[in-house]
Structure 1
Amino acid sequence: MEFLNRYIMTIMQSLALLILSLVLTDFYQTNVPMFFLVFAVITVGNFIIESLYNKNNYQQQTKAKKMGMTMIPINTLVLLVFVMVLF
């Protein structure tokens, strides 16, 4: 349970990407390696950022605000590059 509390943002974003993967890969028929690469990059990046914030022992709300300001632009750029390469 401690792992879920410490890495809730990474888990939630990974879950959202898994749900989104069905649409972006036509039910796993096209673009699967490219989507797996994007999934891995975003998940590892989020995990690293969240582990850095966990070292400072922020409260859950403060950590979520700070991570949102960090992760949203980074993940938007990664997805933008993914869409540009894919289409």
Structure 2
Amino acid sequence: MAEPSCDRPGGCLGRSHIHARERPWQAAFGATRFARDTRGSTAMEYALIGALIFVVAAGSIRYYGSRMIPIYNQISSTVTQAN
């Protein structure tokens, strides 16, 4: 996939690699271009969904564990008394 700035005939062959400090106005345009860039948005959405699923699963397991401790203790004491 070509960069958006390379879709002219000849590609990016004639592109100069001048640093941003030599062209200070480009730093502001770089920030704007970064803010408009949507190429990683799908990955970020999947990461947020994955994090949400992890938090819900961890909370559910913790809740289940705290609710089951008395039941397991009762089973343990019943088995111990039967021996």
TM range (shorter): 0.3 to 0.5
Q: Which structure has the higher relative contact order (CA within 8 Å, separation 6+)?
A: 1
What is the TM-score normalised by the length of structure 1? Answer: 0.31
Q: Which has the larger radius of gyration?
A: 2
